[in-house]
Amino acid sequence: MGPEDAPVTIVEFFDPACEACRAFYPTLKEIMAEYPEEVNVVVRYTPFHGEGSELAILILEAARLQNIFVPVKEALLNNQDEWASHGAPDTRKILEIAADAGLNMEEALTQIKSPSIVGILNQDKADVQTVGVRQTPTFFVNGKPLAEFGAKQLIAQVRAAVEQSRETSK
C-alpha cells in the first residue's frame, strides 16, 4: 500500500485473525494519510492462528490480484469476530465477507490455488522463521525493528524516518 518508490517502507508481519493487527490497522491508515507519498506499507503474512488465517491470507492475495486488497482487508478486519474463532474458524464466513467486499469469488477460488499465491504464503512463512518473528503485528521501518512495541512508537519511528528522508533529499 502506497507508492513503491516511497523513501520509507513499513514492513508489517500480519495475521488477519490477530486482534492486535486489527487494533493497529487504524494507526497504519493514519500514517498513510499523513504521508501518502512518503510511506509504503508491505504486508508479510504470519499465519499464527492456523487454518482460518491461511484461508484469509489466500483470499487477501486473490483480492490483491483483483485490485481490491484494501477493501477486502478492511472487511475481514472489521468482521474478524465473525470468522476468526481461534479454535474453530468459520471459513464460509471468510468467503462471504470477502465476496460482500467485492471479491469475485469464482476467480478467487481459482487464484488461491495458483503456485504464485501459494508461493507467497510459503515464502512469508519461511521469512517469519528466518527473521524470528514471534508475534503479530511486528513492524520494521526501513529495515529496523521497533525499539519498543506500540502505536506511538511506530508513529514516532515512521516520523523520524520521513524527516530523515526529507533532510537527505534537500
pLDDT exceeds 90 at position 89: no
Whole-number mean pLDDT of the chain? 93
pLDDT one-digit tens code per residue, 113-165: 999 998 998 999 999 999 889 999 999 999 999 988 999 999 999 999 999 99
Task: Give the residue from 93, 76, 84 showing the smallest Cα distance to 17.
Answer: 84
pLDDT, position 151: 94
Report if residue 63 sits inside a domain.
Answer: yes
Q: Is the pLDDT of residue 88 over 80?
A: no
pLDDT given for residue 169 in this prediction: 78
C-beta separation of 39 from 2 below 8 A: yes
Residue range 36-65, pLDDT digits in tens:
999 999 999 998 987 789 999 999 999 999
CA distance 131 to 54: 20
Does residue 108 fall inside a structural domain? Answer: yes
At residue 170, the pLDDT reads 73
Q: Is residue 87 very low, low, confident or very high in pLDDT (cuts 50, 70, 90)?
A: low
Most distant CA pair in the chain, distance: 54
Tell me, yes or no, if the pTM score tops 0.85.
yes
Per-residue pLDDT, 86: 67
pLDDT of residue 147: 86
Average pLDDT for residues 3-11, to the nearest whole number? 94
- Is 2 within a domain? no
Contact 61, 112 (CB under 8 A): yes
Q: Specify the CATH number for the domain of residue 73.
A: 3.40.30.10
Whether 133 is in a domain gets the answer yes
Domains of the chain: total: 1
Provide the domain limits for residue 43. 8-168
* pLDDT at residue 85 tops 80: no
Residue 3 lies in a domain: no
Within-domain flag for 1: no
Task: Report whether 141 contacts 7 (CB < 8 A).
Answer: no
32: in domain: yes
Specify if 102 maps to a domain: yes
